[in-house]
């Protein structure tokens, strides 16, 4: 079965392909879709649903979308739904990390969590899968792997950042990995 993943992020696409090897997972670009998908809501869940519903309703294709946010306790849950554009509309990972580190300078409570919601629509039927990874924000970057906030996120029970984990290790514990695993389990039960 082919599923269109509502992304052009090569890192996210690779993660999904690794976790769902029995399915042909393609990006928006691979599907010939070159428009920006709407994200007009104030919650991660609603944005995930909106993107999948837009794709399914406009193109009538089996698809799934994700929306992810980093929630930092000391920042009242920010950046949350604005994680990708925390430091501005340019959606620059380095700028976002620099801003998080600046805002947490001298702050003791560095607890944080990543949350992902995946919305899957197959033949008009919608399913939601949630994944979470708890941890804390490191005082400085560590590691060259991963993407986004991975170099400053220390998962609970680990002594290295997500950016220092292998892709296989990350997929087992990450928010997106967990939600994709739930989706894989659902698909295999059908």
Query: What domains, with CATH codes, occur in the chain?
Result: 2-188 (3.90.950.10)
Which of the following is catalytic: 30, 67, 94, 150? 67
Cα 134 to Cα 54, 87, 99, 144, 174: the distances in Å are 30, 22, 20, 20, 9
Alpha carbons 35 and 16: distance in angstroms, whole number: 21
The total number of residues written for the chain in this structure: 190
pLDDT tens-digit readout, 145-183: 888 999 999 999 999 999 999 988 998 999 999 999 999
Residues in the chain where the model's pLDDT stays below 50: none
The pLDDT value recorded for residue 19 is: 92
Alpha carbons 39 and 130: distance in angstroms, whole number: 18
Q: Which residues, other chains included, contact 66 with Cβ-Cβ below 8 Å and sequence gap of 6+?
A: 5, 6, 7, 12, 48, 116, 117, 118, 119, 176, 179
User: Are 19 and 185 within 8 A, CB to CB?
Assistant: no
Burial class, 5, CB count within 10 angstroms (exposed 0-12 / middle 13-18 / buried 19+)? buried
The pLDDT value recorded for residue 190 is: 79
The pLDDT value recorded for residue 11 is: 87
Enter the pTM of the model. 0.91
Two tokens at 36? 């920006």
Alpha carbons 29 and 8: distance in angstroms, whole number: 6
The pLDDT value recorded for residue 7 is: 94
94 is catalytic: no
User: Are 103 and 94 within 8 A, CB to CB?
Assistant: no
The pLDDT value recorded for residue 4 is: 97
């Amino acid at each position: 079965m082919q599923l269109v993943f509502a992304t052009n992020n090569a890192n996210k696409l690779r993660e999904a392909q690794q976790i769902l090897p029995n399915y042909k997972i393609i990006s928006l670009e691979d599907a010939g879709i070159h428009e920006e998908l709407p994200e007009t809501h104030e919650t991660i869940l609603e944005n995930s649903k909106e993107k999948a519903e837009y794709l399914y309703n406009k193109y009538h294709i089996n698809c799934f979308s994700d929306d992810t946010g980093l929630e930092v306790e000391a920042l009242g849950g920010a950046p949350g739904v604005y994680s990708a554009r925390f430091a501005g509309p340019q959606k620059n990972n380095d700028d976002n990390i620099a801003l998080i580190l600046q805002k947490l300078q001298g702050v003791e409570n560095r607890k944080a969590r990543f949350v992902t919601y995946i919305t899957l629509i197959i033949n008009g039927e919608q399913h939601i899968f949630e994944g979470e990874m708890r941890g804390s924000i490191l005082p400085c970057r560590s590691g060259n792997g991963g993407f986004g906030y991975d170099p400053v996120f220390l998962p609970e029970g680990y002594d290295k950042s997500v950016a220092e984990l292998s892709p296989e290790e990350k997929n087992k514990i990450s928010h997106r990995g967990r939600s994709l695993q739930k989706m894989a389990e659902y698909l295999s039960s059908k």
